[in-house]
Each structure stands twice: as structure tokens, then as C-alpha cells.
Amino acid sequence: MFYLLKIPIKKFIQKKRYLTVSPEISFGELLKFFRGKNQTFAVFLKEGKPVGIITERDVLRAFHQRYPLEFRAFNLASKELVKIKSSANLFQAFNLMAENFIRRLIVTDEEGNLEGVITQEDLILHSSEEIFKGEARVRDFLENKLELIYATKDETIAEAIEKLMRYNIGVLPILDENFRPVGILSEKDMVQYEYTSWNKKLGEIALKEIITIPMKSPVTEAIRLFKKFSIRHLVVIDENGKAINVLSQRDFVHNLTVTYTQYLESIFKQAKEFISILPEIVLEFSECDSECRLTWMNEFAKQNFGETLLEKDVYSIFDFDDWNRIYGILKREKTIVNEDIKDRQGRLFELTGTYFEIGERYGKIKLLLRDRTDDFIREKTYQEEIKLLKSFLNNSLDYIFVINPEGKIIFANEAFKRALGYEEREILSKTIFDIVEASEDEIKRNIELLIKKGLTIRGKRFYRDAYNNQIPVEILAQAYQINGETIIVINARDMKEIWQEVEVLKKQNIQLESFYSLVNELNLAKDENQLFQILERFLLKRVETFHYFEIEPVKTEVKSTYLSGNKKLWKDCMEREIKNCMVFTTGKSFVKRGEISCSNFSYPEFYHICLPLVFEGVMQGIINLIKSEPFGEEEVKFFEDITQTFNIYLHKLRLFTNYYEQSIKDPLLGIYNRGFMLETLKKESEKAKRIKKPFSIVLMDLDHFKEVNDTYGHLAGDLVLKEFVSMVQLNIREMDIFGRWGGEEFLLILPGTEKNSATIVAERIRERLEDHEFYITDRDKVKVTASFGVAEFLTDAFSYEFLLKIADERLYLAKALGRNRVVSESVN
């Protein structure tokens, strides 16, 4: 068996075991072919290349929906076409089946022409009993299967089709009143049988003979029965002959792949299911020998990129040059770790990937992406903060420098360089042994005490400057851990001016402590109001009045003002017109010094400073601080630094808020996007199950909207979409959730609403739209209608996926019935 699985699949292709048809064939003609040829599926061919596949389940779904016989059958080909090159081996083919949960695989040559179809029956046909040696029993295959779905002889054909569709199963056992099987109906039986009446009872039609197997039977007996009777399903019975469940060939396909390689289950099933829920982006690209198309993405990736990128080429996601660089590494090394890459929206990701070779020319790539956009912004902010801190250190009159554990100087402030007479490049080439007048052994002992004992060393030293002169200093040294690395910070001061410098240092320390305290509080702020409250409290400890002008940058006028502290000291210096303000025109701070005062300020006897808030070169606001005492030079610099620091946090918060809004909103219409709507739908379904109260959804699609775009252009189409969104929002509740599902398709979620009420809402929107005229120019106007599908959770479906499917089927039915209508019930 293992040897056979390694043989190329072209050795196993049986060319006459499938039906090929044109995409233009009607449903009625296809049905005749199915019945005449006794086939269960057909492949649509266009110029020799497979473009779709239709199975008995698709046909049965068409019966269920009363699909017109004269319509194109190609519209029913709902399954994704999964293909494999004929040079691949049988084992790769069945792994692809198991991974995609399909029964049939399209086989093509190197040019993409159809060579054949390989099915699960082929695996059973070429398997041998030795693969199942051991204690494996039929009951072992039933552990993870759902409960048995069955029918009785008194149920009708329509009811049987409804069960097959609702529970997404391929076979329906017929049981008597004692739960013993008396017949079986498969999807193929439903297709082959020419019904005269949908209400005909199952007991009145010729039931197919049923093949059963006891649950304690060995697996090899099931294999033998599959081969002997050329069937796809066995009904499993207990010791009393009662039906327990149905065993299918698909169950054996998964088991065979597990038996062949011990860890395949975790790789192809458990791992993929686990990856699907990871809070990281996982993407899978296939056909990487040519276009490298996105063929699979986990749920987190769908939320970040949207499902519309599936089957698109890799350049729809990533920058051209970035991807070519990554692809070159993957082809050469097969793996790649911690590389940065940007997407088309400019977001930065950290990438880990693997390249798999399948056959000689076929390749597949799996990527894991971690969004580093926030990290990048945060790192940039940290760099700006570090720059700001260095500016503080450079403003210090103390001699401050930093060394590593080996004594190399890695930072020196301006005072230190100026006192010793070194330039930046020169000082960074020195060590502490070049500077301090002490023995090398003594300096090394002190470094060891600082690092290993965590001591703080104080004392008097002599520094040697660039001209070999001695400078008497008093030092304070301490070791720190920053990002896992040890540094030693040494603060020294000239003893000649020790007392003056002590006072300066105290003042600086107070400012630094208050600065760090402010930074810590700003880090915890969640919105702009909190940020301004923190800044207000901080500044009112140092000034008497705080005032803020918020500026509208586009109109260049005052948008709003805010005043706190001693309000008697302030009177607005400008109304909405701000072009006469020198801070606004220059972008620089203004400080009252002596008799020099702003001509717009109403109380020149008080001292004031005006500080600009500038984002990306655009003035966003002006802060005014007032007090009775003059502002010192260091105080002005401190307030400017505080304002710059505050500016960083305010900018970061606004960027984050804008980014979050963009991630959940449609950029054109301003309503929720598909990812947000899907997540909301999941939460609503969980809530409905928990509280046992229904909710409804309305799936709506604008009829013939393509004609609007083709006739008047996409800008006109956008105007219609925007006006339609406004119309819907006027006709729903505030608690209802409305979003764009894709293109001209929209989804409305109505919490706590039964289907009847949801239908009324949908009908009201339909009527408003039918009566409405859209002006696309001053003279041209169009009328647009829409089709609606309504479904209720708990009544129509027990999962959000099936609820969407039901609503989509009803929307499709509304289209088929002539459009411009609301459908809330399925046609039986």
C-alpha cells in the first residue's frame, strides 16, 4: 500500500469514469446526462481546461431551491476547483483531499489541460487490508462523528431532500419504528430518480438495498464490503440490529493518510484547525512556480486582509520588491525567519515562512505574519523619547557619560565633552581608563562592585582632559539594566562650583521625576480627554491658568477652546480668525519677557507662554500658560519639552484610533466591513444560544448595479451606494448592525428580532428604495432596486455559517423570482 501511494497518480487515472460538459449547458440537459450516463458528477471544460465541477449534491441543492431547468448549470458549481498535476503521487493527492475535505480531485497536465479525475473510491480500490492490521474496529471510526440523521418510510421526498441539505450529509438511512434499517437513499439516488411528486412518501418508492455492518466488526471487513458492492456508505448496527451511524469512504481516506505517516493528522487537520484560530496571520500560497496565488488563510488573516484576496496573486498583498526578496530567500533556503515585509497598505509585518516543493515544478508557501506596525510606531516614539531624554542630559551642567562593563564610553553629554575638550567621534573612541586618574585595577574593582553588588559609588576623582590637564570632580556612578544589557552611568561635577551645581541638579531631578511621572500617566491614557486631563493637572501645579485652542487645520480657524485654573487671568485673545497669531504663523513658542508681550493678550501685566501643538507640519492647537511670576529660561525649555512629549502621545493615540477605525470600517461608505460583521455575527449567535432568544439577518443586494457603473461610471456608482447606505440607516434602529458584505451586497443584523419583524424592516427598505430616485448629476437620475434574503437564528439555522447560507439562498431565490423582492422562507 505504501509503495502504491508513492506512484504518480497518472498511473491510476481511468479516463471514462467521469462526465465532461460545456459551461453553457442548461440544468435540464445536464440532468438528462446524469440520469442517462448514471454519473454522480461532471467536469465543466472550456478549451480543454477544467473550469468547474458539479456534483450530485449541487444538483440536489438545485432541486431543493426549485432551480429552473432552462438556466445555466454552471451557476450551480459552488465547489472550489481543487487541482493537482499528474506528476504528483497518489499519496499527495489523498492528502490534498483530506486537507480540503473533498471526494474528487481534478488532475491536469503541465499546461493545465484535463487529464482525469481521481476519487476516494480509488483509495479504497488500491488499499489493502494490511494497512489496518491491529485491533482497529468499526466503532473506532465513530468516536468523532455526529449523531445519526435518518428518515422514516412515512416521510416525503421533499422532507428527505430538506434533511440532506440542512445537515450537509450525502446519505439518509430509512429506519422502521424499531430503528432497524429498511433502506437507504443517497444523493445519487435522489438525482437519478425522476420524481412525479415531491410529496410522495419514501415507502412508496423503490428503496435501495442497504448494506450493514456490526459496530464490533474489524475495519478490514468494512474495506471488503466497500470493494465487493462498489458502495460509498455502510450503515453500522448494534448487536440488536439497530442503526448506530453511517460509515463512509471519506472516514477511511482520513484514516489511511494517518496510517501512512504518524504525524499527518496533526499537520493536515489538528494543526490547521489550531492555526485557523491563532491570533497571528497565517497565509498559504500555491502554484508558486508561476503566479503564487493565495489559496488559504486563517480566521485572523481574514479579519486583517478580508476574504476577497483568496485566489489573488501575491502582489495583491505585498510590495513587489519586498516579495521578490522574500521569495528568493525561500526558494534558496526553504525557510525564512524574522524578516520584515510591508503590505500594500503600508503595514509592517514580521514574517516567518516555509517553502514546500510538490513534484518537480510545483511549489507551496506557508507564511506566519506578526503585525509590527504598532511596534514600529512605538519604537519610533521611544526613539523620540530617548532623543528628548538625551536633550535633557545634554542640557545638564554636570558631566554625564555612560560606559559598558568593559569600560568603553558609549555616550557623553555636551558638558562632559566640552569640559574635556573632545569631539563626539573622539570621545566615543575612549575608555574610562583614558579619562580617570586612577589605576586600572582600582577602576575594574569599582566596575565589578557596581555590576555584581549593585552598589552606588560616590567619591572624588581627577579627570584628564584632551590636553592632559587634571579636572577635580565629585562623581556618582551606578549600573542599570536596559533591554537586557548592563550599562554604568557616571555623573560628575566640577568641585569649584559644587554648591551651585547641587541646586541645579536638584532642580533637574525634580523636573526629571515629574517628567517620568507624566510619561507614566500618559502611557495609561485611553483617549484624548484623559491625555488633556493629565496634562492639565501637571501644568496647573506650576502655573495659575491653563488654556487650550483646538484648531481646525483645513479651515485654519479655532474649532473650540478650553479654560481651567484661575479663569480671571484669561480672556480670549482671538475668535475664530487665527491668522494674526504669531505662534500660528511661525509654529514657534512665544514667551512674555519684560515689556515684550503679545498684542492680542488682554492682561499684559501677567506672564504668559504660548506653545504650539504641531502634527506632521500642520498646526493642531495652541496651549496658553499664565502665572504671576516670570518664566525662567530652563522653565520655558521644560514646558516646551513637556509639550513635545505630550504631542508624541497625542499623535500616537490619534494614529491608533484612526487605524482601528480603518480596520473595521469600509473606507468608501463608512459602515462596518465584512470582517467586523462576521465577528459580530459569531458573537450574536453565541449570545442567542446562551439566552435562547432569536435574532435575524437580512442579506441585501442591489439589482443590476453593474449597469449603473457601466453606464454612468464608478463615481456615480459610489454616489448611489452612499445614498443607499444613508437610506438604510434612516430605516433601522440604533442597536441594529449594518455593514458592507462585498461589492453591492450588504448585511443587516437585527438583535432580538424575529423573522416576521425583520421581514417588515426589509420590506420597508425595499419600498423606500423602489420609490427613490438617485441624482447622479444635476440632470441625470436613476432608479435602483434590491433583492433581500431574511433568515432567523434558532428557527432557520443553529450556526451562524448555516444562517448566512440560508439568507444567501433566499437572496438568490429573490433574484431568480424576478428581483426587487424580499424572501424570508425557503421553497420546499
CATH classification at residue 538: 3.30.450.40
Cell (9 digits) for 597: 508681550
In whole angstroms, what is the distance from residue 95 CA to residue 80 CA? 17
In whole angstroms, what is the distance from residue 372 CA to residue 383 CA? 16
Give the closest residue to 564 by CA, choosing from 584, 534, 527: 534
In CATH, what number is assigned to the domain containing residue 40?
A: 3.10.580.10
Q: Residue 605's pLDDT is what? A: 76
Buried b (16+ CB within 10 A) or exposed e, 166-185: beebbbbbbbeeebbbbbbb
pLDDT at 266 over 50: no
pLDDT at 93 over 60: yes
pLDDT at 611 over 80: yes
* Better-scored residue on pLDDT, 122 or 369: 369
SS3 232: coil
Residue 470 counted as domain residue = yes
Phi, psi values for residue 726, rounded to 5°: -60, -40
Residue 294 counted as domain residue = yes
326 and 385 share one domain = no
Q: For 566-595, what is the mean pLDDT?
A: 78
In total, the chain counts a number of residues equal to 828
Q: Residue 128's pLDDT is what? A: 47
pLDDT at 452 over 70: yes
In whole angstroms, what is the distance from residue 409 CA to residue 401 CA? 7
Out of 250-259, 391-400, 557-566, pick the least confident.
Answer: 250-259
**Burial category of 342 from C-beta neighbours within 10 Å (exposed 0-12, middle 13-18, buried 19 and up):** middle
558 and 650 share one domain = yes
pLDDT at 754 over 60: yes
**Could you report the per-residue pLDDT of 177-190, keeping only the tens digit for each?**
888 998 888 777 77
Q: For 273-287, what is the mean pLDDT?
A: 72
In CATH, what number is assigned to the domain containing residue 699?
A: 3.30.70.270
Residue 520 counted as domain residue = no
Q: Using the 3D structure, point to which of 318, 350, 371 is the last residue of a domain.
A: 371
Q: For 448-474, what is the mean pLDDT?
A: 88
pLDDT at 694 over 80: yes
**Could you report the per-residue pLDDT of 393-432, keeping only the tens digit for each?**
777 888 889 999 999 998 899 888 888 899 988 999 999 9
346 and 384 share one domain = no
Measured at the alpha carbon of residue 318, what is the angle toward residues 312 and 321, in degrees to the nearest 5?
120
320 and 220 share one domain = no
| Three-state secondary structure of 732-791 | CCCCCEEEEEECCEEEEEECCCCHHHHHHHHHHHHHHHHHCCEECCCCCEECCCEEEEEE
In whole angstroms, what is the distance from residue 641 CA to residue 634 CA? 10
- Return the number of other C-beta atoms located less than 10 Å from residue 299's C-beta: 17
Give the closest residue to 774 by CA, choosing from 720, 710, 711: 720
In whole angstroms, what is the distance from residue 772 CA to residue 727 CA? 10
pLDDT at 14 over 70: no
Q: Residue 488's pLDDT is what? A: 92
In whole angstroms, what is the distance from residue 790 CA to residue 376 CA? 44
In CATH, what number is assigned to the domain containing residue 363?
A: 3.30.450.20
pLDDT at 359 over 70: no
In whole angstroms, what is the distance from residue 721 CA to residue 739 CA? 12
Q: Residue 69's pLDDT is what? A: 83
Q: Residue 268's pLDDT is what? A: 46
Residue 319 counted as domain residue = yes
pTM over 0.75: no
- Highest mean pLDDT (candidates 9-13, 284-288, 380-384): 284-288
Residue 494 counted as domain residue = no
758 and 808 share one domain = yes
pLDDT at 620 over 50: yes
424 and 469 share one domain = yes
Phi, psi values for residue 783, rounded to 5°: -115, 140
190 and 68 share one domain = no
pLDDT at 1 over 60: no
152 and 110 share one domain = no
93 and 31 share one domain = yes
Residue 498 counted as domain residue = no
Query: What rounded mean pLDDT belongs to the chain?
Result: 82
Domain coverage including residue 20? 2-118
In angstroms, the Cα distances linking 12 to 5, 44, 86, 117, 119 are 10, 21, 10, 9, 10
Q: For 204-216, what is the mean pLDDT?
A: 80
307 and 419 share one domain = no
- Highest mean pLDDT (candidates 115-124, 384-393, 547-556, 666-675): 666-675
In whole angstroms, what is the distance from residue 97 CA to residue 615 CA? 54
Q: Using the 3D structure, point to which of 630, 663, 696 is the last residue of a domain.
A: 663
Q: Using the 3D structure, point to which of 438, 467, 487 is the last residue of a domain.
A: 487
Residue 685 counted as domain residue = yes
How many structural domains is the chain composed of? 6
Percent of the chain with pLDDT over 90: 21
659 and 719 share one domain = no
Residue 268 counted as domain residue = no
Instruction: Identify the band that residue 766 occupies on the pLDDT scale cut at 50, 70 and 90.
Output: very high
682 and 621 share one domain = no
**Could you report the per-residue pLDDT of 48-65, keeping only the tens digit for each?**
888 888 887 888 788 777
